Structure 1
């Protein structure tokens, strides 16, 4: 009986789904982007409604948690959590005072590029 139990437990462990996430080496990038969204004075438009940083952040964090098993890079984080509506497939748009509107995906990719180059933008 014990041997069967050990075999069953071993099988269960081996067949358990692997949960992905951003690699440790990129977690600081995701944190930076989350802080960037939170502290931004820009408004993020989702399905026709504009949201300030804190509201946008809360939504993106929910999506990040939901899609964590698919996310394997910072770029995946942007794609799955912060680029478009899961329900309508409409892209998120960012409205900043002194700039043209931009897709949230491009806005965050620009911020990521600045972060990686060491210039970090706000």
Structure 2
């Protein structure tokens, strides 16, 4: 009877990080699609970009720096909120209202999590 308990413990131990990673990936992919489909303008280092360009840039940053973001909150805080070159904060303008991209993305993530929680 000790073998099944050991197997169960191993499954729980090793399956949890996989499930966590899958959830983090789903949230980050949601955020990238959210940015791309937003129709908002993004300012990065003084240059305004449309939502498709902004999403492409964030995908590039995630591909290159994903090791610094093991979850969606870290993705926002470490990759999607400011320039890694200049440290200047990114902004987003939607319907004439400008805000920091980090705040905007955290709100989008909170909304997503509320919809996905049973």
TM range (shorter): 0.7 to 0.9
TM-superposition CA deviations, 1:42-99 (whole Å, max 9, x none): 101001111111100111111111111121111111122210011110000001115x
Q: Which residue pairs with 2:70 in the alignment? A: 72
TM-superposition CA deviations, 1:8-38 (whole Å, max 9, x none): xxxxxxxxxxxxxx71122211111010001
Q: Which residue pairs with 2:102 in the alignment? A: 105
Preserved contact between residue 24 and residue 70 of structure 2 (Cα < 8 Å): no
- SS of the aligned residue for 2:68 comes to coil
- SS of the aligned residue for 2:43 comes to strand
Give yes or no for the alignment of 1:117 onto 2:88.
Answer: no
Structure 2 length normalisation: TM-score?
A: 0.77
Structure 1 length normalisation: TM-score?
A: 0.74
Q: Which residue pairs with 2:40 in the alignment? A: 42
Q: CA RMSD in A?
A: 1.5
Report how many aligned residue pairs link the two structures: 97
- Structure 2: unaligned runs, 5 residues or longer: 1-19
Q: Which residue of 52, 66, 70 maps to 1:54? A: 52
- Structure 1: unaligned runs, 5 residues or longer: 1-21
Which entry has the higher C-alpha Rg, 1 or 2?
A: 1
Q: Which residue pairs with 2:84 in the alignment? A: 86
Structure 1 segments of 4 or more deviating over 4 A?
Answer: none
Q: Which residue pairs with 2:10 in the alignment? A: none
